Homo-oligomer: A and B are copies of this chain.
């Protein structure tokens, strides 16, 4: 009950447009003022809430202090390994990015142990920078362009990885050895990042969209009514391997005509209009199958959205059975290429926000 109420108070403070007083939190939650005050004291002592200057005086009496999430408490470390870059970022409890580093380099010729060691150094540097800034890194999530099951990267075709324990490799770095580290698919994390970035907390629950992440490979994250749909075994969203031309170009996965070979970043650089048409064909399949009203184009697609839009929409109009009844909305991702590592960091922050009691126990 206390754990539930701590989360309730923290969410109320987090989702208010103006830092609310203890009395306002009590009114919003239905808890008594005494209960709210005791919970707020714990959240302030535990470094999750801060009391800020009161809002401008609007009535009689002394204005009360407002409650806000702290920008000096727990933080999430978001990591990403992708085919042509490594990246790390730190996001604080308020959702602000406090540290961000991206190293561009083709990872395909790099040994997997080497790539993970470089990522480990990037992660360690990010953690040290965050802690020098007064933050406490609560955990790390790593975004990978591949299939993840039971914490292992089962297959990442464009990295040439198979059954890699990436978390174990990162935990071998002394500066990271005490961190909880999880691994997840980059498109799934990017979809979560986009959900948080584009929709207010209450509003997000009503939204359904497909997030398409255009990198060397192409992944997708499907959000239905504000929830990520992961598939029965966690392997949904492999839109890069949807067939667009059955007898077409050979793909690294062994098949022919995969979307990735026409709209992956390298194909895209050669022919944007072919990429747009191929994307339009694959996205039409998604809409015909799933009746998804919104498609968000992320990764490398976001900055050239204007170039791709018309070609994609032409295919959607032609191939989606319901196009005449209700058009599909197409839009660029709000976070651009940072979406996956932002979503990764955000999972850590959300875990603290959803269960502040667990965080407080770390200090008692």
Contact = CB atoms under 8 A, between A and B. Distances in A.
Interface stretch (A16-24, A265-273, A281-289): A281-289
A220 interface: yes
A4 interface: no
Nearest to A322: B235
A255 B288 CA distance: 12
A145 to B, nearest CB: 12
A288 B244 contact: no
A286 to B, nearest CB: 6
Contact of A238 (B208, B256, B277, B289): B289
B291 A241 contact: no
Which of the four size classes fits the interface of chain A? 35 or more
A54 interface: no
A281 to B, nearest CB: 5
A242 to B, nearest CB: 4
A34 interface: no
A246 interface: yes
B292 A231 contact: yes
A157 B321 contact: yes
Nearest to A325: B154
Closest 6 CB pairs of A and B: A231-B291, A238-B288, A236-B291, A235-B291, A242-B285, A241-B321
23 contacts: A149-B325, A155-B322, A155-B324, A222-B290, A224-B229, A229-B290, A231-B291, A231-B292, A233-B326, A234-B291, A235-B321, A236-B290, A238-B289, A241-B319, A242-B284, A243-B284, A243-B285, A243-B319, A246-B281, A254-B318, A255-B318, A258-B319, A286-B289
Interface of A: 147, 149, 154-155, 157, 208, 220, 222, 224, 229-239, 241-246, 253-256, 258, 277, 281-282, 284-286, 288-293, 318-322, 324-326
